[in-house]
Amino acid sequence: MRRVRYESTGGPLFLEEVPVPEAGPGELLVRCEAVGVTLPVVRKVTEAAEPIALGGEIAGEVVAVGDGVTRFRVGDRVTGLCFGHGYADFAPLHEAMASPLPDDASPVDAVALVRSGLVALGALTAAHPEPGESVLVTAAASGVGHLALQLARVRGASRVVGAVSDPGKAEFVRALGADEVVTYDFPDWGEPVDYCLDAVGGELLTPALAALAPGGRLVAYSSGGGTIQAYDLLVGAKSVIGFQMARIARGKPELYERWRQELWRLFTEGTLRPAVHAEFPLEDAAKAHEAIESRSNLGKVVLRP
C-alpha cells in the first residue's frame, strides 16, 4: 500500500510502498477513503524534533478487526482519529476512537464534520455560553472555526464575530452566519464580546483577550502557544480556559459520544454545514499542507487516498 512519510523536520513529504498493517487488539483496519488534514499535524512536521506518524481523522470501510473488538465488523463504514499513520491507503483505528457513518453521509462529510466539529463543540461548551451572549471566533474560516461559529449560533449567540487572516475570507464567513468579520491586523475589533473561541494563539492572544467585555471568557484551544499577562485578566475580571480534545476522548468517552451524536443530528437536520476547501490525492499531501500553512483554506482540507 501507499503511505506518506517524511524523514526530517520540515523535510519534504513523499509516498512510500509499505505492507498493509494488521488490526491489533482492540483495533479496526480501515481502507481510507478520506483523511482530514489538521493544523497541529502540519505544525509538527515543521517543528517537531523527530519525524512523526502523519495521523488525523480518517473515514472509510472496515476491512479487518482485531481481537476484542465488539462494536464493529468487516464492511462497516466508520470515521475516527488515527494516532498512527493515517495518510495511507489503509490505517489502524482504535475501536474507542471510531464511530459509524450515517447512511446518507460520505467519508468526506465525516472528516470535515466529526473531529473538527468535536473540537469546535468542545471549545464552545468550555466557554459555558448563555443564550443572548456575543462571541468572537478566531480562524473563523478554518476547518474548526467555520463550524464553531455555526455552533455558537445554535447555542443561542445573539452576535457572532469572525476573525480571519485575510479580508478575502469575509464573504465565506458571513455566508455561514457571522454578523461581523474582522481581520487580525485591524486594531479595533468593535464592540466587546462575552466570550472568545481562539484557535490561533501566539501574538493573537492579547488582542483576543482585549476584545472581551468585563467578565468575559477566552477559550484557548490552539497549538500555537502564546503568553497572557495576569494583569490583563485582573483588570477586567476575565478568565482563560484551556481546552484539549484528547482529554475528553480518553477520559470522558460518554461525553465524546454524546457530542458526536449531536453533530450528526445537526448535520442531518441541515443546521450544521461543513465546508470542504479542497480534496487532494494522497501523492499531493504536500499541497494539502501548503493550503493549511498559508492559511488560504476556506473550511476543511481533505486527502483522498
The pLDDT tens digits of the residues spanning 17-29 come to 999 999 999 999 9
pLDDT score for 229: 86
Confirm if 206 and 186 have CB atoms less than 8 A apart: no
Residues 75 and 140 in one domain: no
**Hey, how many other C-beta atoms are within 10 angstroms of the C-beta on 126?**
19
Query: Considering the domain boundaries, does residue 256 fall inside one?
Result: no
Confirm if 246 and 223 have CB atoms less than 8 A apart: no
pLDDT score for 276: 95
**Angle, nearest 10°, between helix axes 145-154 and 107-126?**
60
Q: Which residues of the chain have pLDDT under 70?
A: 187
pLDDT score for 31: 98
Query: Considering the domain boundaries, does residue 259 fall inside one?
Result: no
Residues 149 and 229 in one domain: yes
Residues 163 and 69 in one domain: no
pLDDT score for 249: 78
pLDDT score for 76: 98
User: 3-state SS of the chain?
Assistant: CEEEECCCCCCCCEEEECCCCCCCCCEEEEEEEEEEECHHHHHHHHHCCCCCCCCEEEEEEEEEECCCCCCCCCCCEEEEEECCCCCECEEEEEHHHEEECCCCCCHHHHHHHHHHHHHHHHHHHHCCCCCCCEEEEECCCCCCHHHHHHHHHHCCCCEEEEEECCHHHHHHHHHCCCCEEEECCCCCCCCCEEEEEECCCHHHHHHHHHCEEEEEEEEECCCCCCCCCHHHHHCCCCEEEECCHHHHHHHCHHHHHHHHHHHHHHHHHCCCCCCEEEEEEHHHHHHHHHHHHCCCCCCEEEEEC
Residues 150 and 68 in one domain: no
State the cell numbers at 265: 443530528
Query: Considering the domain boundaries, does residue 23 fall inside one?
Result: yes
pLDDT score for 187: 67
Structural domain harbouring 147: 117-245
Q: What is the CATH number of the domain that holds 153?
A: 3.40.50.720
Residues 53 and 161 in one domain: no
Task: Identify the bridge partners of residue 180 per DSSP, sorted by sequence position.
Answer: 161
pLDDT score for 243: 94
pLDDT score for 40: 86
> Looking at the 3D structure of the chain, how many domains does it have?
2
Longest dimension (CA), the chain: 59
pLDDT score for 196: 98
